[in-house]
Structure 1
């Protein structure tokens, strides 16, 4: 994907961006089923012939936009947990690891698209695609911090799914509330609650 982007004509990139932005705005206003290619081209101030140079129909535009955004997120989660071996999760939970930062920064760059695509009922595969990325993200983190299954309190796959569901719900909440906190704040809080839990002191006794 990154090589493709480097070789793509800037005018083509701009055209595709205009069409994607128009799609997101119109889905937000009317819902996917109620919009047409004509609506999209008018909003993007392009003609239909230009649209069909890039996409076969509105579903193709939706699918390609979904794939591009999820690939961008995946490519930007490029600092693995192993790349920062000096990071001590037991001591540094108040300073987010780079991977947590990259997650929220990338989502914030395309916040309207994420918000619309995650809440639009006709785009379930966007949620599924993001869920898979988050599951892999969580799995890599747990595998790095504790590779020994015997030292986990629950089965590894259960823990991965639990945290992935929580991450997704937090991301949706953040977007639906128009990102009241910065990406760094969100990354810090999510990492803190993942590593330390929500309590300053154990509420059920020592």
Structure 2
């Protein structure tokens, strides 16, 4: 854990391309052999951190969708991000992986496509895909701005905005 936390601290100041294994080891107060017994390099370490976060959020999304609470999905994701703000602030920043939040928001893609197909049978799959892409990228922008500004608003307020914007677009879409 100390290795992961050290990398996250370094990423607050520098992009991953400027962080070395030596930097991480100094910050963690460990030797390089200890680092290399766990990870091949700093990129693998970052990937491991991202994959852990992704998997935790995937479980939140899966639980929410399996309990017929898809209307709460935006809230559950925002709540998770707020509860894990220290890691999310770093991973969603300019120094983190810019595609991670996109990957997270696409977890529910297939579920939502199936739901929308049942509700609006006359609209084809391609239109649903385009609509989902449009709303997902809007959601990403809102969440990134929220995280970058220090998450002052509550998760429920941000989720309500995302849900209202998504609903407004869907009404014009149909």
TM-score grouping bracket, smaller chain normalisation: 0.7 to 0.9
Within 5 Å, give how 1:162-181 maps onto structure 2: 162-181=134-153
Instruction: Provide the TM-score with structure 2 as the length reference.
Output: 0.80
Q: 1:136 to 1:34 in 2, by over 3 A?
A: closer
The equivalent of 1:53 in structure 2 is 37
Determine whether 1:143 maps to 2:127.
no
Within 5 Å, give how 1:24-39 maps onto structure 2: 24-39=8-23
Aligned length: 168
Q: 1:195 to 1:82 in 2, by over 3 A?
A: farther
* Structure 1 residues not aligned, in runs of 5+: 1-16, 88-95, 198-206
The runs of at least 4 consecutive aligned structure 1 residues that moved more than 6 Å come to none
Within 5 Å, give how 1:1-206 maps onto structure 2: 17-81=1-65, 83-84=67-68, 97-120=71-94, 126-147=97-118, 148-150=120-122, 155-196=127-168
Q: Give the structure with higher Rg (CA).
A: 1
* Structure 2 residues not aligned, in runs of 5+: 170-174
Q: Distance in 1 between matches of 2:50 and 2:65?
A: 26
Describe the SS at the equivalent of 2:103: helix
Instruction: Provide the TM-score with structure 1 as the length reference.
Output: 0.69
- Per-residue deviation, residues 4-62 of structure 1 (Å, max 9, x unmatched): xxxxxxxxxxxxx2211211111221332222212212222333332222112212211
